[in-house]
Amino acid sequence: MAGASLLTLLDDISVILDDVSVMTKVAAKKTAGVLGDDLALNAEQVTGVKANRELPVVWAVAKGSFINKLILVPAAILISAIYPPLITFLLMCGGLFLVYEGAEKVIHRFWPHAIPDDEEQNARRQANADETVDLVAFEKEKIKGAVRTDFILSAEIIVIALGATATATLLQRSLVLSILAIGITVGIYGLVAGIVKIDDVGLHMMEKDGKFTQKVGKVLFAAAPKLMKFLSIAGTLAMFLVGGGILVHGINFLHHEVEDIAHLTGIFESFTTALLNGVIGFIIGAAIVALLTVINKIRNKDAPSAH
């Protein structure tokens, strides 16, 4: 009897693990788009850091990402069981933050006089140019910003994964989200670490013997800044695509309008949906930037003069 019970238990565990494996694959496929955005955004967050500080910064953000997952996975499971609408509200707040961050970057790039200078960015440039400055202090704010962005994207990934496990038991759902959270964090930040060190690898290969190795090294070294620039642009676009997508899905009339317009484009429906999400994200983000800029100007105007 004891042997039969043990075999039954092992069989049940095997069935659960098989189901978890299948659901994890489904959830990973559904989150693939957001994962691409997550990679681009996190690689973009490390730009501007000195070469010898790149890996420590990536590691610091990765640790923050693990902490985010430790908070988000149990919180998502708990909220989905107690009050599911709260997840939508929190995602909407995250979407607003993403489009605001993206719009601020675009406006600073193309219309630098439209909003006040980014003092943090200016200070970082000065710190990078001054060998006597402790860069760790300046990196802390950059790391905090990257961890905040990771928190929002991680929440989006986990919510999508929750949808893929809607019919699962609590145990299966917990296992799927935990496996996905660990796999995503290791995979994303492993790739980010590889991307930011491409130029160092290229330089090392250029110093080796052998013409072929040196040529490959030159290609890698030349490609590194172009790749980082591309990822910077892609990361900003991702803010609008992901943030705009969250907001559109959370506002019923916008969601239906986008679906109706995209449906008219036939085979380009998916592309049109993403484009409209991005445009709406930029418009909302620009509106938030404008509103906060006006508020800050009014506050500065009303503030008592120091003289």
C-alpha to C-alpha distance for 275 and 262, rounded to whole angstroms: 9
C-alpha to C-alpha distance for 88 and 182, rounded to whole angstroms: 23
C-alpha to C-alpha distance for 57 and 42, rounded to whole angstroms: 11
In the prediction, which pLDDT does 283 show?
A: 94
Roughly how many angstroms between the first and final C-alpha of the chain, as a whole number?
89
Could you tell me if 45 and 61 are in contact, meaning their C-beta atoms sit under 8 angstroms apart? yes
Closest CA to 140 of 120, 155, 122: 120
- Tell me the backbone φ, ψ of residue 11, rounded to 5 degrees: -65, -40
Give, for all 307 residues of the chain, the pLDDT tens digit: 555 565 565 555 665 566 566 666 655 665 555 666 667 666 666 666 666 777 888 888 889 889 988 988 888 888 877 887 787 787 788 788 888 888 888 888 887 776 655 555 555 455 545 554 555 666 777 788 788 878 877 887 787 777 667 666 777 778 888 888 888 888 888 888 888 788 888 888 888 888 888 888 888 888 877 887 787 787 788 778 878 888 888 888 888 999 899 988 888 888 899 899 999 999 999 999 999 888 888 887 766 554 4
In the prediction, which pLDDT does 306 show?
A: 46
C-alpha to C-alpha distance for 107 and 289, rounded to whole angstroms: 9
Question: What DSSP state is assigned to residue 115?
Answer: S
C-alpha to C-alpha distance for 238 and 40, rounded to whole angstroms: 8
In the prediction, which pLDDT does 32 show?
A: 55
Closest CA to 78 of 175, 170, 178: 170
In the prediction, which pLDDT does 307 show?
A: 46
